[in-house]
Structure formats: structure tokens, C-alpha cells
Amino acid sequence: MKNNLSTIIIAIAVIVFALIIGNAYKYKFVSTETISVTGLAETNFTSDLIVWKGSYSRTGNDLKQVYADIKQDEILIKNYLKEKGLPDSSLIFSSIDVTKNYQTKYSDNGNILGNTFSGYTLSGGVKVESKNIELVEKISREVTELLQKGIEFTSLKPSFYFTKLHELKIDLLAKAAADAKLRAETIAKSSGISISSLKHAVTGVFQITGTNDNEEYSYGGSFNTSSKFKTASITIRSEYLCK
């Protein structure tokens, strides 16, 4: 009787041990199965800050007079921009740069004889930062009116920025992560399994391009400043455990 009882106990122990080993192997096998996906999120947005720059210059032999002339130009430019509706707080004038000009003298044979001083060129610049994008765009197109005042003003193309870029990026990251999870669930369902938990995730570079501009993505991330209307996108590479 004791021998039979011992045999039964040993048999039960063997079965239990086998079940434990089997389940452990099954768990180990399943837990090493993963699904890797790439989630994408993108959104269109409009810039809320414009930065526009312009430069002006004066040339002459009398440094004192040229300086007086360019400072007068600065006053006229400031008054012009204020009359157009820009406040002083949006205007930043740079210091005046002074350049000495020289003219090269040549001999009849084309040899260089030397350089002679030919006067001074003084140049200044103005930078406009404003959230009134439409107004600054209009001024940048009409600023050639300063030529009528005798001011040699060169206008650069405006640059456009978005002051809430951090919040936009956080929102896109959340959407890209949700998109990655949905992709993983779809793949798992079609394979007759399901996902359990996130094993690993790596974010891609943040891309900002002009909307409908057909710009190519950059390896280090694009950052478009020439377009008022932009598209931001980001990817997340996620790896999920299966069960």
C-alpha cells in the first residue's frame, strides 16, 4: 500500500513538473516574439511669427557726412515703418558698419600699380519681428517706396516661425505612438495573436516642411522658414511583445 502511494505521489510530481516546464517554455517562447512597427503623425499649421530684415547703405569720401546721411536714413526708415503700423517694440536697428573702399590702379600693360583710397561705405540694417504677419508681408513688398526718398534699401524675404512648436511636437509624439500601437494590433490580429506590452521605442527626427512644397526630408530633420503654411511630422519606431 505504501509502495502504491509512493508511486502515485511520484507520478503526480512528474506531471506537475512537466506542466511547469511546459508552461515556462511556452511563456519564454511567446515572450520573445515581437512585432516592430513605425508610427507616423503629421499636421498642417500656420506660422504665428514673421521675421523680416532689410539693409541700407551710403557711400562717400567724407566719413562724417556719410555717417550723418545714413543716420538720417535710419530715422526716415523708422518713421516709414511706424507710419505703416509697426510699433517701436518690433523694430531692431543694428549698429553702423564702416568699410573703406579702394580702387586698383593698372598700368598700360595690365600690371597692378597699387590701390588708392576711394571713399567709405557705411551700412546698417533693420530687423522686424511681429505676430502681425499680413502687415509685415505687405510692408516687405511695398518698401521700395523708400527709393523715392533717396534711400537705397534692400529687402530680404521674410522668414516664418511658430512660437508653440514644443506643444505641437508633444502632441505629434502622442499621436505617432498611438498610430504605432494601432498598426501593431492590426498585424497581431491578422496573425491570430495579440500584443502585450511595449518593449522598445525610438523617435525619429522632427520634420517641418512647407505645405504642398514637395520638400525632401532631411536626415537630421527639416526646418522650413520660408513658408507661412507648414506641415510638421514625426515617426516612432516601436517594438511590442506578443502573447
Q: What is the pLDDT of residue 2?
A: 46
Q: Where are the domains of the chain?
A: 1-32, 35-46+164-242, 51-158
Decide if 160 contacts 133 (C-beta within 8 A).
Answer: yes
Q: Write the single-letter amino acid at 135.
A: L
Average pLDDT of the residues in 5-18: 52
231 touches 208 (CB < 8 A):
yes
Q: Check residue 101 and give its pLDDT.
A: 95
35-46+164-242 to CATH, choices 3.30.110.170, 3.40.109.10, 3.40.640.10, 1.10.357.10: 3.30.110.170
And the C-alpha cell for 30? Answer: 511567446
pLDDT for 19 equals 54
Q: Quickly state the pLDDT bin for 83 (edges 50, 70, 90).
A: very high
Distance CA 56, CA 147 (A): 11
Measure the CA–CA gap between 215 and 94, rounded to whole angstroms: 33
Average pLDDT on 65-76 reads 97
Entry field: residues in the chain: 243
Q: What integer pLDDT is reported at residue 218 of this predicted model? A: 80
The pLDDT score that the predictor gives to residue 12 is: 56
pLDDT at 28: 45
pTM (predicted TM-score): 0.79
Mean pLDDT of 28-43: 80
* Residue 45 pLDDT > 60: yes
51-158 belongs to which homologous superfamily?
Answer: Protein of unknown function (DUF541), domain 2 (3.30.70.2970)
* CA dist list (Å): 128 to 1, 177, 202: 101, 39, 39
Mean pLDDT of the residues in the chain: 88
